[in-house]
Structure formats: structure tokens, C-alpha cells
Structure 1
Amino acid sequence: MQIFYKRLLLSCFACMCLLNGFLFSSKVQAQNKTTQATWIWYPGDFEVWLSNQMQNRRTERGTFFPPFWRMDSHYVLVEFHKEFNLTQPEEIELFTEGQYNVKLNGKMLSGYPKKLQLAAGRQKINIKVYAQDKVPAIYINGKTVKTDASWLATFEDKEWIDETGKASDASGTTYVNAGTWNFNSPNQKPSNFKLSTKPKYAIKTDVKGASRLIDFGQETFGFIKLHGLKGNGQLRIYYGESKEEALSPQKCETIDFVDVNLAKAQDSTLQLSKAFRYVQVETDAGVKLDSVSMLYEYLPVKDRGTFTSSDAELNKIWQVSKYTMELTTREFFIDGIKRDRWMWSGDAYQSYLMNYYLGFDEASVRRTILALRGKDPVTSHINTIMDYTFYWFLSIQDYYQYTGDKQFINLVYPKMKSLMDFCLQRRNQNGFMQGLSGDWIFIDWADGLSKQGEVSFEQLLLCRSLETIALCADLAADDKASAYYKNEAAQLKTKFFNSYWNADKQAIVHSRIEGKQTENVTRYANMFAIFFDYLNTQQKEGVKKNVLLNDKVQKIMTPYMRFYELEALCAMGEHDYVMKEMKNYWGGMLKLGATSFWEEYNPSKKDTEHYAMYGRDFGKSLCHSWGASPVYLLGKYYLGVKPLTAGYQQYLVEPHLGGLQWMQGTVPTPNGDISLYCSTSAIKIKADSGTGTLRLKSKIKPQAKGISVKQIGPNYYELSIPSNKEYTVKYKL
């Protein structure tokens, strides 16, 4: 069996991986040919380790404040290997993070070799690495032998030696593709990773006695730098997203106290980064300070998505949304930069979608998905929140649709199965999800929102999650599981509408208690059912009239759920209405001086009431990832660009001006960009790759040189757009 296994390994990576439950994509095969060495580790371990570093930096008024949920750790002992067929001898250099041993062609080498001489012919390298304080990782560089994503890794090689000294057959071991990111030199160790920084200076400083109020002009994140600090005593820093918070030493959310004992003036940078716009600095009489600046901390992500239009306010909304995403895109996609600085699956799910229309940073999506999932066994929902578990599933389907990255699907699929097993085992006797001990049913921050009984929103998300894992089972060639999940999804969808659809109300009711529908109708399940395309035409119209456009149904106050509400309305063709709502809601925050978008916005609140939440005067986050949703809405529903098949091999462009005179923008894809200009009489479009379908409404038959025009309905036309050439379409709105 060992010889057979080796032959499989040498002849075809795809066959070997199928034997172990993983089917590699062409993307992996392309990576196998890389000419650049990189650090590798067990996939997901660096992400778990780094998330632990980041999420445990949170403080509240100087007190350590760790996450609420179970934190996993990396595997401390990992074996890496790969086989090569060298045409000539080669010397390789070896670097590791942790203690290690090396086997060459099955023979253990003495000591800790830094260089290896490889003869021509078949060579197999095995390296076993142990580390507790960091992730076991290796970096090998030679002329052709280099570490990359094609190396295999395992956390248990199931190896033993019998009484004769014969090594065991390790064919029962599950090997997976090694994890990588962008650590491409031996000195660029994964354990040393830090975000980038750059200096930033205050726009205004007001000094009153021993206190000074420093304004950096906009919401920001980084390290306070104290210039010309000397003397003996204490310096106190009170941070504020608002001026009122910085001027409230007793109630501001974040503080720093610095003990000073310096005979000579020097500059000092604080060790922990914080979120703020304003800082108030107080000094004891014996402490002198010249000035205060900061080091802005950020993850470098190339700006690819763009948007501008004839509406100046809308352009500012897009720009502030973009900046909000920049601030909350860190080692991972986090919720808010001041308070939690954690990864919440619901927040991250929206960040992924915005990212696809902005930086298209696939690596950040993968890191966040892996870190949120953590390790088996599953003992609770992600973030302890039932709906956040389901958003995690949904995020994987979206990731595949936008990127076409089958390799990642195969990597994460086993984790999907164990998490879905956990969920399905917690259904009640009616086959529905219902909150059990330790489950947090979140849905949204809304006054008086019932979480009792069988909540329709949770069943809807479970149904979509089952459809998602069925798709991934197909991609992983797990036919038996695919059939099972498809059947479960179909049965649940039928049961859902039989149980929650109310024909008199023409809406999905909020919940069932003791097997009976409650009278309450909320927006949540109804709007998700629209963009999940679960409703027929009559049901959609009923939901739009009786729920989404009905002021008697409890309104949504958080940008979190406004995201989905406005998406549902866009999906129903209400682009003009959504444009007005977007300008009123996000424009309302701008009128109050917002430089990034908030966790919650209620227009009826006054003055400092806007900063309060969770029973604290300044508990609200004024920079929250879910506040940036106009980036997604404008990209997907106004520029109208979305993938029809995985990775934008085929895509749709269906622009909607929404009352604008013109708009233009760029939507990133895995293999280039799609650029669009649209006015009331002309559309210009160019795509770097893929085949596009342009759909538009026009009072006249559109004219476009070099492409055919097909009418698909009254004043409704479709054009096929090839890649790598700009096309101009004349039409009349």
C-alpha cells in the first residue's frame, strides 16, 4: 500500500488529494509552478494564532477585555513534506519557526541542518516542526525546490516503528495543502507580522492649562506618539470618537495612563493602537510635553473599486463608506475599531461583500473565514450566535461565486460538515432551530424584538446554509453528502412556507410558539426571502407592499439590517426609492459630522444621544464595518455588476441610475476589472476578462458597434460584451 500511495503522490496531486478527501483545483496546480519560495504552515493555524493576538488586544478603560467565546489554538506539531524529481543536484536553504527535524528519503538527518545537498533524481523531504508560542512553519529556497502551497502538511502522521525497526505505513494519514500568505523571504517570519504604519498629524490642538485636546480631523486608528516628553509624574490620555467622549475622563471607553520618569526630553510611542478622532492629554505638574502625533495603522490593500456620479452627496457617502472599510479591514475583517475590535461573523459577512466591490482582497476573506471557524470539535455556534453560524456558511458560497477559488472550498469543506452536523443535531422535534442553553439569537439590535420560539429568520438562514453546503459537497465530489443536504434543504423550504407564510398578511410571520404562528410580522425573514429568490411573483409583491414599504412594520435602525432591507428593495426594482433612502440615512450621519459610518443611527435622537448604546454614554461604535454597505449596493445594484458563474467567467451588468444624471465606476474581479460609465443616453463598458451580458431598458433599440442587440421584453434589451475592448452603447432612458 505504501508503494501504491507513493506512486499516486508522484503521478498526480489531484488523485492523491481525492484519496484524502481533498480535490485540488487548477489554481493549486498553477501555484505548484511558482518560482518564489514562501513560508508555509498547517492551513488555518496562522489564522487562528493571529486572531488570538488581535482579539485579545481589546481594553475597556484600561482593563483587559477578551472575547466571549471559546478561543482555539494552533497545532503545535506539524509534519511537512513533498517529493521532487530533480534533473540535476541542488542545494537548498532551510528556515523554520520552531524546533525541527529533517528526513531525506526516509532517513533522519543529524542535528538542525540549515542547508541540504540534494542529488539528482527522486527526492522526498520530510520536516517535522514543534512550536507552542507561534505557528510551526518552514521556508525552503533552492533553485527549483521551494516551499509553496503545493507542499503537504498534517498534524498527525500516524507513524510508528515496529520491533524490527520497520516504519509503519502512513497511508491512513490525512494530508492537506500547506497554508500560505505573503511571507516571501526568510526574514519575513509569520510570527513577526505587523500591520503597516505611517505618520499622521493633528489638525488642531486646544491647550487649557495642563490639558490639551487634539483633533486629528477624522476617525482614525493607530498609536499615539508623544514628542518631547520629559519630567517626573503621570500623563493621562482619554480617547474619543467624538469631542464629548474625549472630554469625559469618567465615561470615555478607552484610556491610557503613562508613568513618566525622564530627565531628558524624548519621543515615546504607546504600545497599543487605539481608535479615536480626538484625544485629551492631561499631564501632572512635573511632566512636560511638546506635541502629540500618531502612527496610523493599516492593512495595505490596493484600491480597485471606484464610484463617482453626478450627485456630490452620494459621492461623499461612497468615499466615507470606503474609508470605513479601510479602518475595519485589519489583520481580519473586524466589527468596530473602538470597542470590540473582534471578528463577528455577521459583521464579517457584510465586509466580505463590500470587499468584493472595493479591494477584492481574497486573502483577507479566507483568513477571516478560517479564524472564525476555529477547530473541531464544535461546542457552540460561531460567536455563540445561531444566525452568525449560518452567515459563515453563506459567506463561503459568496466567496466561491466571486472568486472561483475551488481550492479553498475543498480546504474548508470538512469544517463545514462538522459545523452543519452540530446545527442539525440541535433541531427540535419539529425539525426547526430553536434557541437552546448557550445560544444567542441575535438577528438585530431592535427594541422588543422577540427571540422566543421557532424564529422564522433562523430557519430561513439554515435552509440557505444547507443549499450552500450541498453546492460545496458537489465541488468536493462528495455525492452522498450532496444528495443528503439537497434533500434536507428541499424539505425544510417546504416546511418553512407551510409553517410561516400567512396568506392573509401576505407575509412571513416572525415566529411560531407551541406550533402556532405569532401575529408579529418583521422585516427580517421577508427581505431575505426576496434576495434568496424563495418567493413567487405574487408573494414578492405582497411582501414589498405589506412589509418593506409598510411603515406600520417595525422599522430598522441599524446599518446592519438596512443593508439587507435596501438590497431586497433593489432586487425588487426599487432603485429610485433606495437611492432616496440611502441619501437620507447615510447622508443623515454625514450631516451630523460623521467621518466614518456608525453601528446604529436613529434620526430621532438628539445631540450626544447619538453616542450612547449598551447603557453607556459613549458605548456606540462610530466606525462599524456594517456601516459601509453603500459600497456594495452601488456596485451591485447601480453599476449593476455581479458574477453569473464562479469567478466572473460570465457576468451581468444591469445599470440603474436611480435618478442620477450619470455615474461611473470600476468593479474588481479575480482577473482584472470591469469599468462602466452610464448616463441617460450612453453606456461605456470594458472588461479585462470574462464574457459579459449587458441588460438595459431603453425607449429605443440600443446601438452598439461590433456587438449584437437582442430584445428580451418591452423596452428591455440584452447585449453580449466580449473582453479587452471598450464598447459604447447608445440608448434612451
Structure 2
Amino acid sequence: MKKYLFTGFMALYLLAPAFAQKRATWIWYPGDFEVWLGNNMQNRRTERGTFLPPFWKLDSHYNLIDFHKDFDLTEAEEVALAVEGKYNVKIDGKAFPGYPKRIRVPAGKHKLSLKVFCQDRVPAIYVKGKNVVSDDTWLVTFEDKEWIDETGKASDQSGTTWLLAGSWNFDNINTPPSEFRLATKPQPAVKTTRTGKSFFLDFGKETFGQIKLHGLTGKGNVDIYYGESAEEARTTATCETLDHLEISQPAKRDSVMELTKAFRYVNVQVDGSVSIDSVSMLYEYLPVADRGSFRCSDEEINKIYDVAAYTLHLNTREFFIDGIKRDRWIWSGDANQSYLMNYYLMFDSPSVTRTLLALRGKDPVTSHINTIMDYTLYWFIGIYDYYQHTGDKAFIKQFYPRMQSLMNYCLGRRNKNGLLEGLAGDWVFIDWAEGLSKKGEVSFEQLLFARSLETMALCAQIANDAPNAAMYSKLAADVKAKLFANYWNEQKQALVHSRVDGVPTENVTRYANMFGIFFNYFTEAQKQGVKQNVLLNNNIQKITTPYMRFYELEALCAMGEQPYVLNEMKAYWGGMLKLGATTFWEEYNPTKKGAEHYAMYGREFGKSLCHAWGASPIYLLGKYYLGVKPTAPAYATYLIEPKLGGLQWMEGKVPTPDGEVTLACSTKEIAVTGTNAGTGTLRFSSKTRPVCRQGEVRATGNGQYELTVEKGKHYVVSYQL
């Protein structure tokens, strides 16, 4: 017998007989672990040692949960139980006494039920027998709505809403959800400078983790100042993060800092009789592997890709977060971009759904997500993109009611014109841009609103809610019609930025116009007008954040401007590399000099030098250069449309739910291997008639050709670019 002690409860586990068993995992009410974990993570933020919590509403998990499942066993079996919280266990409504850690389930048809209360953690169970195991086929509810009459007879109908249980990868009885921790590994500094008893360390590149002091002894103070730049770590009065320790330690010991920090440089200062033998770190990370890749003839682009991938990994933690130094919060707009980059690098669906659920929280809805109007709308768009890439109908059916209640909140905040306008408590963000007006009915918000309503129509269809699918479709069409009727300026060949008091402004910005291109809301003539009069027009206010450069360059790629975008990537992201960046930043303005690059929000080192939205080359290179994208959910059909864009050659992989699409392309040859599921279409142009021995190339006119790519098959096409 082995005995395991978890915080707040005891679980007894007897080793099972050596026969094949079904997989057991910890389960909970769907979305509750994500909410609980998000609360814990987002409340670790500090600024110069001061606790700084989020400024939006945080929801809580349900603390009393019913779990049950029906089983039909050919023979009785012994079942081990572990539970987070107080609980009772029933078979066919009859309770076992006490808190059993092991029960016997008889042969035949039986219902196994557990009711669990836990307030400080998420109520969760682990059940392991040969056939009786806990998994995501169990049903759960937070209110059973049962009652009994005066004779003691239980109600025949309770009106309970049962959902499928939530789970992740907690497959061991020893690792309940509450004990989840990111992985760590020790790392030394690449350079250590000692001045007396103090240390200045350079870890070689931006990193994240806990500082470890080796051989700490003496009496006095240890002050640790962290910096993404050397200047920040040395400027002890204004660096963003620090640790202060009061030491009274006669014997040498090692000490690990309680909270993780982001840094490249670390300045360790001591006083009194304190001494330290050495300093290292524990690097903290989510162990998720890359499935996508990209290499090409341009080494600077290869470096940009590698740094972008590292930037995304650092910000892929319990959730997709904004940046590792400052906020370390879950921002919906930032996360939406991480989802897209993830589909071309890791294709880790659990990270997407964890983040979506943590952002959504619980009903009732009392404010926009992160208090930002556009961030609520990005949440819906994230659902749309998730379905297109994964085809996960089960997720949509399970959480459709939460989508509905959030959309009802948005619909309730429309003005008399049926459009969204910032009300009290609404933050209309759009972008960090000097002088950008947020007044009135902003065209960008209406465009996101239309796409969100289209998402709801799609989700309603999946959830078999035909009446609301029709309603959402009608509302989406109405908002799109108003978008063009109210904002399209024929003379400017663009959507204007806003209407104030019902009057369109003359100002044209890039935001709604570039989204309108890759949302495919414009006619071909309008797209060309927008490209020339907005996207390629230097008189239109320029974008200085990687956040919106992401979408600007996507719009240009969608218009076939890959050569232009390649040069922009080299100038913008390459510009950061030339300044010594080892991860990509929250904002980059090439006109700034020296330490000016570190300032933001009125603070000397307020800018994040490792921000998730800086990693967009991953997405651009995968979708618009390798040219792979789904044309039906889960890559049931997909397009491969390689664009060298001035490169001599490129090669890479794009992950899908079932395998990868592998591509190598030069100016004379394209080699492609299809994914294990779905049918692809290779589309390309050639000056001469292409040759492919493995399949039939079809001419589609104007020098364009297509080839059907079957599941798992390899094709080599000779052509002339």
C-alpha cells in the first residue's frame, strides 16, 4: 500500500493488478480549473515588490460539484479513488460510509456518483479501475436541482443541466490539478562579474524563472534588481522588478526566490556580513514541442523566425500571456495573436482552450473582457479561428451558452443606431497610437462586431440552435451593411475611422481597412483601392506596435505583396535584432535612440522587451510564404500556395490536427507532402508548363496551375517562376 498526502485531503492508492486498463485522468467542472489557475497566475504580478492585481472582475470556480457516470460491467472490479475536497460516493444512489479511498463496483449496470465540496481548490476526482475510470465522458453539474417529497421519495425529474467533465493531462493520481507547476531546469549565467560580495549576471538572452543563491550565509540584506536590459538592472531606483531579502543565516544554504521574474541581466547587491558563493537560475517553461518550422535562403529571416519562436515560447505558460516582465496577465487581444502563431508553430490546442476559458470566466457578464470592447470581440474571433484549425465541435457545443451570454451583453450595449460605441466602463483600445481618437462609433469596432456575429451564427449552427443562427446571421449582415453605408468613402477609397454624432469623420486610419481585406469584406476593386490609398500610403498614420503590424502585414500578404512584406520584416524585426534584441518587443519605433527604446507608459523601463504580439513572423511565414491554410475545418481541405516573395528557396512544416504539411520550394521546384488527413490543393504560377510525375497538374488560366495533394502523399513539381 502507498499513501499520498495532498494539501487538505488524504488519498489512498493501492497498486492495480497488472492487466490492461483504460486511461484515468483527473476531471472537474469544465472551465473551472482554467478560471482558478488564471486567478492564481494573474495575481503574481508585482511592481518593485508591490502586489499589483488585475483591474477587471475575477470569477471563481464552483465549490460544490456532482460527478456521475453509468457503467455496465461484465464482472465486479475494485476501484481506487482520490478527491480534491470533501466528498461522498454513491452507487445507484446508495452512499458508502465515510470517505472511502477504494470501493467495489458490482457487475451489471450501475451509476457511480461523487459529490465534492472544495473552496480553495477546484473540486476534482480521480477514479481508477479496470473499466471504471474518470475521463471527459463523465457528466458534471454545479446544481443538481433534486428534491424529495414528504415520504422521502426523490424527484423523478430535476431539471439539471449536465455537462461533460473538463480534463487536461493530469493522468497520475499523484498530480491533482491543484499541484500543477510549470517545468523548470537549472541554467547558469553566461557571464558573471563580481564586485566585492555583489554580482552582476548576464544570462545571454531574455529568459524567465527564479534566481537561486548558492551558499548564502551571514546577516544583512540581499537586494536583487532585474533587467531586460543592462541599463535596467543597473538602475536600481527605477527598474521594474526586484526582490529584497533580510538574511540571518549562520550556516550556508541555497535559497530560491519565491516569485519568477523576467530578465536577461541580474544585479545582486548585499550588505552586512552576507556572502554568496554563486548565483544561477531555474528556467521555468511549459514543455510543449514545436511541430512547425521554417528555413529559407535569407539568414536574417531565419534569425527573425527563431527569435519569434523563442518569444512565443516564453509567453506560452499556463496560458498565452502578453509579456513576461510587466503584466503577465491574460489579455484577449494579445492572446488572439498567440492562437494564430501557435497554429503554425506548436498547434497546442489545450493552451488555446485554457486561455479562451480563463478569459471568458463565468456568468453574469458585467463588463467587457479585460474591460476592453475590442478584446471581447477578439474572443469571439478566437473561437472562429480555433474551429477552423481544429474542427472541435465538442468545445463549441459545451460552451455555446457562455458565448450566447457574452454576445447578449454586447447586443445590450448597442446605441440607437444598432452600433457599438464606448459606454461608461468600456475601454476602446484598438492600438497604442499617438492621437488616435476613440470617440463615437469607431469603424474598427463595427468590423470586429460583424465578424463576432458571424462567429455566433456558425456556433449556433454547430449547437443545433437554428433560430438563433438565423438571428445572428441577420444581425451580422445588418452591421456589415451599416459599416459600408456609414464609413466607406468613395473618394478616399477607404473606410473612414469613425462617426461622431452621426457624421462620418474625414480621418482614415489603417485598422478597419486592413482587417476588411483578410476578412474578405471588400470587393476586389475596394481591396485595390485600400492597398494603394491606405496600406501603401505613407501619409496615413504609421503603425509602431508589432501588435498591429501583425495585421497590416497580413493584409498586404493577402494582397500578394510578399516581396514588400519581406523587406518590412527585415527592416522592422531586423531593426530590433540590430539593437541586440533576443526576443521581440511590445513596441519598436526606429526613430528612437539608445535607452529611449526601453521607456513606455511614462516609466523609464516600462516597455516589455518580450511581448507575445512581437512574434508574428511565425504566422506570416507559415500562412503566406509556405502558404498553407485550412479551407474547411480541421484541414479537411486546405490550400498550399507558396510565395517566395524574393527568397531563392524556402522549406518548412505546417502542423495540422493530424500530421504536418511539409513543403520545400525554390524558383524551379516545389516538393510537398500532404498531411495524414484531408485533401490539399497546391496552387502556384509558372512561366512554363509544370511537370509532376506523382499527380496531374491542372491549368486554371493566366499562368496559374493546381495539383491535388492526397493524404500523406509526396509530390515533386518542376516549374519556372
Superposition TM-score tier, normalisation by shorter sequence: over 0.9
For residues 374 and 118 of structure 1, the distance between their equivalents in structure 2, rounded to whole angstroms, comes to 36
The match for 1:437 is 424
Q: Is the 8 A contact 1:157 1:170 kept in 2?
A: no
For residues 694 and 276 of structure 2, the distance between their equivalents in structure 1, rounded to whole angstroms, comes to 68
Find the residue that maps to 1:231 and give its secondary structure: strand
Q: Is the 8 A contact 1:34 1:148 kept in 2?
A: no
Candidates 456, 461, 479, aligned match of 1:469? 456
For residues 660 and 447 of structure 2, the distance between their equivalents in structure 1, rounded to whole angstroms, comes to 34
Which letter does structure 2 place at the counterpart of 1:116? I
Offset at residue 79 of structure 1 (A): 0.2
Which letter does structure 2 place at the counterpart of 1:193? F
The match for 1:638 is 625
For residues 180 and 231 of structure 2, the distance between their equivalents in structure 1, rounded to whole angstroms, comes to 35
- Give the alignment of 1:453-492 within 5 angstroms: 453-492=440-479
The match for 2:706 is 718
For residues 432 and 304 of structure 1, the distance between their equivalents in structure 2, rounded to whole angstroms, comes to 41
The match for 1:38 is 25
Question: Would you say 1:325 and 2:312 are equivalent positions?
Answer: yes
The match for 1:218 is 205
Q: Is the 8 A contact 2:341 2:618 kept in 1?
A: yes
Answer with 719-728 or 39-48: which moved more.
719-728
Offset at residue 211 of structure 1 (A): 3.2
Give the TM-score normalised by the residue count of structure 2. Answer: 0.96
- Give the alignment of 1:133-282 within 5 angstroms: 133-282=120-269
Offset at residue 170 of structure 1 (A): 3.8
Candidates 623, 628, 633, aligned match of 2:615? 628
Offset at residue 665 of structure 1 (A): 0.4
Question: Would you say 1:116 and 2:107 are equivalent positions?
Answer: no
The match for 2:349 is 362
The match for 1:93 is 80
Question: Would you say 1:708 and 2:696 are equivalent positions?
Answer: yes
Question: Over aligned residues, Cα RMSD in angstroms?
Answer: 0.9
For residues 224 and 724 of structure 1, the distance between their equivalents in structure 2, rounded to whole angstroms, comes to 47
Q: Is the 8 A contact 1:37 1:146 kept in 2?
A: yes
Change in Cα spacing, 1:361 to 1:728, as seen in structure 2 (3 Å) is: same
Identity across aligned pairs (percent)? 65
Candidates 557, 568, 575, aligned match of 1:581? 568
Which consecutive unaligned segments of at least 5 residues does structure 2 have? 1-19
The match for 1:418 is 405
Offset at residue 212 of structure 1 (A): 2.1
For residues 394 and 570 of structure 1, the distance between their equivalents in structure 2, rounded to whole angstroms, comes to 20
For residues 61 and 499 of structure 1, the distance between their equivalents in structure 2, rounded to whole angstroms, comes to 48
Which letter does structure 1 place at the counterpart of 2:108? G
- Give the alignment of 1:527-542 within 5 angstroms: 527-542=514-529
Q: Is the 8 A contact 2:197 2:275 kept in 1?
A: no
Find the residue that maps to 1:544 and give its secondary structure: helix
For residues 268 and 667 of structure 2, the distance between their equivalents in structure 1, rounded to whole angstroms, comes to 53
The match for 2:597 is 610
Which runs of structure 1 show a deviation greater than 6 angstroms over 4 or more consecutive aligned residues? none
For residues 180 and 129 of structure 1, the distance between their equivalents in structure 2, rounded to whole angstroms, comes to 16
Which letter does structure 2 place at the counterpart of 1:714? N
Find the residue that maps to 1:281 and give its secondary structure: strand
For residues 250 and 211 of structure 1, the distance between their equivalents in structure 2, rounded to whole angstroms, comes to 17
The match for 2:383 is 396
Answer with 165-174 or 560-569: which moved more.
165-174
- Per-residue deviation, residues 289-330 of structure 1 (Å, max 9, x unmatched): 111100000000011111111100000000000000010000
The match for 1:513 is 500
Find the residue that maps to 1:222 and give its secondary structure: strand
Candidates 293, 308, 316, aligned match of 1:306? 293
The match for 2:360 is 373
- Per-residue deviation, residues 594-632 of structure 1 (Å, max 9, x unmatched): 000000000000000000000000000000000000000
For residues 281 and 124 of structure 2, the distance between their equivalents in structure 1, rounded to whole angstroms, comes to 33
- Per-residue deviation, residues 251-284 of structure 1 (Å, max 9, x unmatched): 0000000111111111111111000000101000
Find the residue that maps to 1:256 and give its secondary structure: strand
Offset at residue 706 of structure 1 (A): 2.3
- Give the alignment of 1:376-387 within 5 angstroms: 376-387=363-374
Candidates 683, 696, 699, aligned match of 2:684? 696
Give the TM-score normalised by the residue count of structure 1. Answer: 0.95
- Give the alignment of 1:644-683 within 5 angstroms: 644-683=631-670
Candidates 353, 356, 368, aligned match of 2:340? 353
For residues 229 and 90 of structure 1, the distance between their equivalents in structure 2, rounded to whole angstroms, comes to 54
For residues 60 and 586 of structure 2, the distance between their equivalents in structure 1, rounded to whole angstroms, comes to 30
For residues 293 and 219 of structure 2, the distance between their equivalents in structure 1, rounded to whole angstroms, comes to 51
The match for 2:325 is 338
Which letter does structure 2 place at the counterpart of 1:542? G
For residues 21 and 331 of structure 2, the distance between their equivalents in structure 1, rounded to whole angstroms, comes to 35
Candidates 575, 584, 588, aligned match of 1:597? 584
For residues 87 and 359 of structure 2, the distance between their equivalents in structure 1, rounded to whole angstroms, comes to 29
The match for 1:728 is 716
Candidates 427, 431, 437, aligned match of 2:414? 427
For residues 300 and 34 of structure 1, the distance between their equivalents in structure 2, rounded to whole angstroms, comes to 26
Offset at residue 210 of structure 1 (A): 4.2
Candidates 491, 497, 501, aligned match of 2:484? 497
For residues 190 and 89 of structure 1, the distance between their equivalents in structure 2, rounded to whole angstroms, comes to 29
The match for 1:28 is none
Candidates 659, 671, 695, aligned match of 1:684? 671
- Give the alignment of 1:32-71 within 5 angstroms: 35-71=22-58
Offset at residue 34 of structure 1 (A): 9.0
For residues 156 and 542 of structure 2, the distance between their equivalents in structure 1, rounded to whole angstroms, comes to 63
Offset at residue 687 of structure 1 (A): 2.1
For residues 610 and 214 of structure 1, the distance between their equivalents in structure 2, rounded to whole angstroms, comes to 22
Find the residue that maps to 1:217 and give its secondary structure: strand
The match for 2:15 is none
Offset at residue 208 of structure 1 (A): 2.4
Q: Is the 8 A contact 1:404 1:646 kept in 2?
A: yes
Q: Is the 8 A contact 2:21 2:131 kept in 1?
A: no
Change in Cα spacing, 1:194 to 1:175, as seen in structure 2 (3 Å) is: same
- Per-residue deviation, residues 453-472 of structure 1 (Å, max 9, x unmatched): 10000000000000001001
Change in Cα spacing, 1:34 to 1:379, as seen in structure 2 (3 Å) is: farther
Q: Is the 8 A contact 2:21 2:130 kept in 1?
A: no
Find the residue that maps to 1:439 and give its secondary structure: coil
Which letter does structure 2 place at the counterpart of 1:600? E
Offset at residue 441 of structure 1 (A): 0.3
- Counting matched residue pairs gives 701
For residues 536 and 621 of structure 2, the distance between their equivalents in structure 1, rounded to whole angstroms, comes to 21
For residues 158 and 271 of structure 2, the distance between their equivalents in structure 1, rounded to whole angstroms, comes to 68
Offset at residue 169 of structure 1 (A): 2.7
Find the residue that maps to 2:345 and give its secondary structure: coil
Which letter does structure 2 place at the counterpart of 1:61? R
